[in-house]
């Protein structure tokens, strides 16, 4: 049984179906099962088990329960705006789902009714889903884990994910599930933080720990490099890939404000290998290093977020395929025959032909 939610069920925001998963790994998802299930321990050194998803759910729940949670939504709003831009460029949908926090899209009404008819919002944390946001279009709220999508195959025309893929353990598997859940000729538009995100924070902490304690432990979670993203999407079965990088730099008064804002966004580290403490001397040292090495003239410090945008299409016969080998009618060598003075002449000829053939 793949999941309890069926397409077509109308669910208001107050009724959240609890999605059960068929795999034994995730029986911990249901709050009621805790009595019968032993606490989940990480398998030693698993490459596909980097993040503690239960911890991430708790962090998101805490962040959503803050009084002024919308004060910290600036990054999500900005990235949501950019992703919505890309969706408008494609623009032709009947139903769509977002695999991420409610806040990124409906908060700023980025996706308008003309583009998207029905909206499914999925999140791992119930509190985030319960935050009421106005939206122009009918929205279904689904409580689920991005790694175990509770939808049937070929359900959606558009899947959007904004700033949630960087906490997924099995990214290839998750991308494959997204590809399955899409209809043929459906599109996946995603944005995740990756590459050199928060390199200032990472380096300051490393140098401070090196100088103060003689060694360092990872404090910032690992990210996907942009070079790997193309491979990942290709292996998941997407066609016509587009990957590009955007850099968002946010200025803060100091290192501690960076850390507290990240925590309030629900972006605290939840990797299994994170060090759970930071010495007070190291904090002082890291703050000094951050300010000196990366600080701006006005006294603020920057924090860089490298956003990797990706667009992938599910294969369909209407999509352009690479031409058959040997079917070329023009050669690249012809390019060298185009002289500088003949270019305007060619344009006029082309224009003449277009105008007189009626376009």
Partner 1 sequence: MSAPNAWSRSRERMRLFPELFSRCAEQAAAYGRCVAAGAPELRREACGREFAALKSCFVAAVMSCSGTRW
Chain contacts with partner 1 (rule: CB under 8 A) = 207-208, 210-214, 253-254, 256-257, 280-281, 283-285, 287-289, 291-293
Closest CB 264 distance from partner 1, rounded Å: 13
Q: CB-wise, 61 or 108, nearer to partner 1?
A: 61
Q: Which is nearer to partner 1, 4 or 256 (CB)?
A: 256
Between strands 301-313 and 182-193, the pairing is antiparallel
**In the bound complex, what is the minimum distance in angstroms from residue 293's beta carbon to partner 1?**
5
CB of 282 to partner 1, least distance (A): 10
66/241 with CB nearer partner 1 = 66
User: Which token pair is 260?
Assistant: 């507290």
Of 133 and 216, nearer to partner 1 (C-beta) is 216
Report in angstroms how near the CB of residue 131 gets to partner 1 at its nearest: 24
What percent helix, strand, coil does the chain show, rounded to 5?
A: 40, 20, 40
Do 316 and 184 contact (CB within 8 A), yes or no?
A: yes
Residue 47: CB atoms within 10 A of its CB come to 8
Query: Six-digit token pair at 174?
Result: 């998750």
For residues 61, 66, 70 and 75, what is the CA-based torsion angle, rounded to 10 degrees? -60
Structure tokens at 349: 């000829």
By C-beta, is 106 or 282 nearer to partner 1? 282
Cα 239 to Cα 152, 207, 313, 325: the distances in Å are 21, 42, 5, 19
CB of 256 to partner 1, least distance (A): 5
The residue to which tokens 């403490």 are assigned: 277
Q: How far is the CB of 211 from partner 1 (least distance, A)?
A: 5
How far is the C-alpha of 233 from the C-alpha of 175, rounded, in Å? 7
What H or E segment, with its residue span, contains residue 228?
helix 226-236
Q: How far is the CB of 263 from partner 1 (least distance, A)?
A: 11
CB of 255 to partner 1, least distance (A): 9
Nearer to partner 1, 136 or 292 (CB): 292
- Beta-carbon contacts of 119 under 8 Å, excluding residues fewer than 6 positions away, are 95, 96, 97, 98, 105, 106, 111, 135, 137, 138, 139, 140
What 8-state DSSP symbol labels residue 40? P
Q: Decide whether 241 or 288 has the Cβ nearer to partner 1.
A: 288
| Least distance to partner 1, CB of residue 93, Å | 45
Residue keyed to tokens 């860089």: 304
Q: Which is nearer to partner 1, 280 or 325 (CB)?
A: 280
Using CA atoms, how far apart are residues 311 and 188, in angstroms rounded to an integer? Answer: 6
Encoded tokens for 57: 């759910």
- Cα angle 230, 233, 235; round to 5: 105
Q: Which is nearer to partner 1, 277 or 320 (CB)?
A: 277
């Amino acid at each position: 049984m793949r999941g309890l939610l069926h397409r077509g069920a109308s669910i208001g925001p107050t009724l959240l179906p609890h999605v059960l998963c068929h795999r034994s790994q995730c029986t911990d998802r249901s709050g009621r099962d805790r009595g019968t299930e032993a606490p989940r321990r990480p398998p030693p050194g698993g490459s596909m088990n980097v993040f503690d998803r239960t911890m991430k759910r708790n962090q998101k729940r805490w962040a959503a329960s803050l009084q002024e949670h919308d004060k910290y939504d600036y990054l999500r709003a900005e990235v949501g705006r950019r992703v919505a831009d890309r969706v408008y460029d494609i623009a032709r949908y009947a139903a769509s789902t977002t695999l991420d926090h409610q806040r990124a899209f409906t908060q700023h009404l980025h996706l308008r009714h003309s583009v998207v008819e029905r909206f499914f919002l999925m999140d791992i944390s119930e509190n985030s889903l319960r935050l009421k946001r106005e939206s122009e279009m009918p929205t279904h709220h689904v409580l689920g884990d991005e790694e175990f999508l509770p939808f049937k195959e070929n359900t959606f025309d558009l899947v959007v994910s904004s700033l949630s893929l960087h906490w997924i353990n099995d990214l290839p598997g998750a991308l494959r599930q997204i590809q399955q859940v899409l209809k043929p000729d459906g599109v996946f538009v995603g944005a995740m933080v990756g590459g050199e995100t928060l390199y200032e924070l990472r380096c300051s902490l490393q140098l401070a720990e090196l100088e103060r304690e003689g060694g360092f432990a990872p404090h910032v979670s690992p990210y996907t490099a942009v070079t790997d993203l193309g491979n990942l999407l290709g292996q998941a079965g997407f066609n016509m890939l587009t990957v590009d990088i955007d850099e968002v730099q946010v200025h803060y008064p100091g290192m501690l404000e960076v850390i507290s804002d990240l925590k309030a966004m629900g972006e605290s580290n939840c990797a299994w290998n994170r060090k759970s403490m930071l010495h007070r001397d190291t904090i002082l040292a890291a703050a000094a290093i951050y300010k000196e090495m990366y600080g701006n003239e006005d006294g603020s410090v920057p924090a860089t977020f490298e956003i990797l945008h990706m667009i992938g299409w599910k294969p369909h016969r209407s999509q352009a395929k690479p031409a058959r080998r040997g079917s070329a009618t023009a050669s690249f060598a012809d390019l060298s025959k185009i002289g500088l003075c003949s270019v305007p002449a060619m344009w006029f000829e082309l224009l003449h032909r277009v105008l007189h053939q009626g376009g």
